[in-house]
Amino acid sequence: MEAPRGHVTILYCDESLVAVNKPPGMLSIPDRFQKEAPTVRAFLERKMGKVYIVHRLDKNTSGVMLLARTPEVHRALSLQFEYRRVEKIYHAVLAGILEKDELEIDFPLLPDPRRPGRMIPSARGKEARTYLRVLQRFQIATYVECRLQTGRLHQVRVHCAAIGHPLLVDPDYGGAPAFFLSSIKRHYKLAKEEVERPLLERVPLHALALGFEHPVTGQWMRIEAPLPKDFRALLHALQKYAPYSPEWLGSVYQSVLREPGARHP
């Protein structure tokens, strides 16, 4: 059984609700295949009694997760999600260089009838809307902020894959199964008989911030969760070994034109 990479951190707590920073590798609630695996809900209930899930994060997604401590608060928070009165901000690392600085993606999403548990873009699906903003470009990847107006299953992953830029690591939707430092660091060497371990082997997706109205006080709240260690390590490696520059891109373009049989795009 895969152990969660990190610990649940309580970001905010009062008598009505609790917000946590979920580590990658931990389930939000038990599923039918891993009934004994650690979950956010079980962790909190050992500390404070009954809690109610307001929204979930995928197992390998990290970041802000909100839970209610009473049925009444659960209902009120759920309605905010249902009527899209919450602010949801994710950070992600995409494969390839996203050319536009900002982009709106509004492909409807539908459960994939051939692959249970996955989603596909489809005109028959439910409305889904994601706004992307480039934070930093690298030679092989783009670091983006994602603002979600809707909250469909795998929304960021499917939307980014649909525009040709799946998450850098995401074998389900077209990304690599893992990311290795040797793919960007020149002259990377290992000791004899040593096997390289992945720098990242989960989707580079983090729920950075969640904004909502407190159901009891009426105060607008914005809870933020710092990036986890593995996400920061990925960004550091890309910044150090794969920095982006227009000059670099131009040299690559010219080298392609010089290759035998190469044609102008």
Catalytic residue numbers? 58
Q: Is the dihedral of CA 198, 199, 204, 207 positive or negative?
A: positive
Which 3 state secondary structure label does DSSP give 104? strand
Torsion angles phi and psi, residue 93, rounded to 5: -115, 120
Strand pairing partners for 253?
none
Using left for φ > 0, alpha for ψ between -120 and 50, and beta otherwise, residue 100 falls in beta
| Exposure string for 30-41, b = 16+ CB within 10 A, e = fewer | eeeeeeebbbbb
Amino acid symbol at 210: L
CA 229 from centroid of its chain's CA atoms: 14
Q: Which two tokens stand for residue 105?
A: 């993606």
